[in-house]
Amino acid sequence: MADLHDWGTGEAPEPPRSFPKDRRPAGWRVFPETLDDLMQRAGPYGEAAKAHLEWSGVAVWLMKDGDKALAAALIPVEAANLSVLLTRKAVEHEGGWPNLSGIPAQPALYDLPDDAQQIARRMASDIHALWEAAGRPYLRASDCKFAFQYLAAAIRKGIIPPIPTLGDVDPVPAAKPAKPHILDMLKEQS
């Protein structure tokens, strides 16, 4: 059968072979797929994006694969989890990572005494080094895309100013006031 139009055969026609599969320039991506690309597009939030992604990778590695490395380094799992959690939030805050709720929140690490903060940061730094020695796992392209979309959402909500390297992402305009209800209009007339 030479003509495969769907005339009761159940077969769809083949697309023409001359149609280009990808019209984008080579190497161009809508969303960043690497940490370097994300940092470049994030502009002044590049270091904060790096801290967010790296500490996210450390936290996932710690939950999934870090038990053996922690045992070899004689670091208790509970202390490691707590120090990474506290340090991650503090480092993101210090780097200027936006909070989509718009409510500034002080990291819990700052509530601890200075010596406890130093111990938590030092332990988290040791765990970060173990994560790097493991090959920096769980730093995925999907995480770079999510961080990029998170920054775009912060721009749209007006939490951070637009970033030229992020593209044309305009803030969301203020909501239009609701039209008055017909009963309210009748009340005003009487």
Local confidence pLDDT in tens for the 190 residues of the chain? 455 444 555 555 565 555 455 565 556 677 888 999 899 889 899 999 999 999 999 999 999 998 899 999 999 999 999 999 999 999 999 999 999 887 878 999 999 999 999 999 999 999 999 999 999 999 999 999 999 999 999 988 888 888 876 665 555 555 566 666 666 666 666 5
Alpha helix stretches (DSSP H) within 31-135: 35-41, 46-64, 67-72, 77-95, 114-133
Q: Is residue 20 part of a domain?
A: no
pLDDT value of position 143: 94
Residue 103 covered by a domain: yes
Here the tokens at position 46 are 């590049």
Buried residues in 51-67 as b, exposed as e (16+ CB within 10 A): bbbbbbbbbbbbeeebe
Q: Is residue 21 part of a domain?
A: no
How much is the pLDDT for 162? 86
- Domain of residue 75, residue span: 35-187
Query: Is 13 inside any structural domain?
Result: no
Amino acid at the residue 69: A
Non-local CB neighbours of 96 within 8 Å, separated by 6+ positions: 44, 45, 48
Amino acid sitting at position 27 = G
* Structure tokens that stand for 170 in this block: 């305009």
Q: Whose CA is closest to 141, among 73, 80, 57?
A: 57
In a domain, 15, yes or no: no
Q: What is the pLDDT of residue 8?
A: 53
Whether residue 29 is contained in a domain is answered as no
**pTM for this model (two decimals):** 0.71
Q: Return the pLDDT at 1.
A: 47
As for how many domains the chain has, the answer is: 1
